[in-house]
Amino acid sequence: MNKSKELKLAVFSDFDGTVTKLDLGDEIFKVYGKFEPYHSDLREGKLNIKDYWQILCKELNPGTNAEIIRTYAEQAEVDSYFKDFAEFCRENNIPVSILSDGFDTYINPVLNKFGLEWMKVYCNQLVFNNGSTAVPVYPYASESCECLCASCKRNSMLNNVDDNTVLIYIGDDYSDYCGAEHSDIVFAKKNLAAYCNENKIPHYPYSTFFDILRIMRDIVKKKKFKIRHQAKIKRKQAIEAE
Ligand SMILES: [Zn+2]
């Protein structure tokens, strides 16, 4: 019996530094507000992510609104092969979701610019009261995950797959650790690649979506995918813990 025939693929991708070349969230708060010392405090564990976003939002220059952020986001440099990758997935009926610990206010305009509004996005939200004063909202927070993210990527994945889904994860940084740990096929660069090495999570190193697209074509063509045993165990444990 060839069980692999029943399997289907689902792609989950980080946004900042993965889809966009720079961390767009960081750039926006640097340009329109105050970024340090808060970012260093976050990295050093002196601030948790929810408090961090709260402070950064308070520190935004008066008058900064969704429109200003949208206009800035539309200028962001995006990985040159991301759109080709997205179209390949769409042609092959592979759903692509964006998982981010950043905000909808700048993610959606980037996707819309490239005609990718069909992608599902799981991230934090910025709500602008009276058109300005930004307040962060965390619809995908998790109490049980150890990831320290405001938007838990693991949970957003688990809520959208079934037992026959092979989860593909793409990311670059610490907010991607829990997502990668619970995925079957991982594409990793930078901090995430180091984390995968330390924790013996098999992964494809990549530098751009050109590499990912090349490998994905091969995976799909040769049906080179299966459920990763350790990831399956972790998913089961996560579901039980929630
Ligand atoms: Zn998590």
Q: Cα(84) to centroid of ligand 1, in Å? A: 29
Write down the pLDDT at residue 5: 58
Is a pLDDT exceeding 90 seen at residue 133?
A: no
Q: Cα(35) to centroid of ligand 1, in Å? A: 24
Q: Cα(106) to centroid of ligand 1, in Å? A: 22
Instruction: List residues bridging with 97 in a β-sheet.
Output: 12, 120
Q: Are residues 142 and 101 in contact, defined by beta-carbon separation less than 8 angstroms?
A: no
Q: Cα(58) to centroid of ligand 1, in Å? A: 25
Total-model pTM: 0.95
- Poorest-confidence range of 125-134, 146-155, 181-190? 125-134
Q: Cα(37) to centroid of ligand 1, in Å? A: 25
Q: Cα(235) to centroid of ligand 1, in Å? A: 11
pLDDT band at 148; cut points 50, 70, 90? confident
Q: What is the mean pLDDT of residues 137-159?
A: 93
**Which tokens is 167 given?**
């989860």
Write the DSSP symbol of residue 36: T
Q: Cα(153) to centroid of ligand 1, in Å? A: 5
For 105-153, give the DSSP string. Answer: HHHHHHHHHTT-TTSEEEEEEEEEGGGSSEEEE-TT--SS-SS--SS-H
Mean pLDDT (the chain) is: 95
Q: Cα(147) to centroid of ligand 1, in Å? A: 4
Q: Cα(228) to centroid of ligand 1, in Å? A: 19
Residue that is written with structure tokens 């091969």 in the block: 218
Q: State the Cα–Cα distance between residues 110 and 71, nearest whole angstrom.
A: 10
Q: What is the mean pLDDT of residues 106-118?
A: 97
Write down the pLDDT at residue 242: 82
Q: What is the mean pLDDT of residues 167-182?
A: 97
pLDDT band at 83; cut points 50, 70, 90? very high
**Which tokens is 30 given?**
């640097």
Q: Cα(168) to centroid of ligand 1, in Å? A: 16
**Which tokens is 184 given?**
């079957």
Which 3 state secondary structure label does DSSP give 7? coil
Residue that is written with structure tokens 């991708």 in the block: 13
Q: Cα(2) to centroid of ligand 1, in Å? A: 33
**Strands 120-128 vs 134-137: parallel, antiparallel or unpaired:** antiparallel
pLDDT band at 1; cut points 50, 70, 90? very low
Q: State the Cα–Cα distance between residues 49 and 174, nearest whole angstrom.
A: 12
Q: Cα(156) to centroid of ligand 1, in Å? A: 9
Q: Cα(90) to centroid of ligand 1, in Å? A: 27
How far, CA to CA in Å, does 107 sit from each of 17, 50, 235?
A: 12, 18, 27
Per-residue pLDDT reduced to its tens digit, 11-58? 999 999 999 999 999 999 999 999 999 999 999 999 999 999 999 999
Per-residue pLDDT reduced to its tens digit, 213-225? 999 999 999 999 9
Please name which of 22, 32, 33 lies closest in space to residue 55, comparing C-alpha atoms. Answer: 33
Q: Cα(157) to centroid of ligand 1, in Å? A: 10
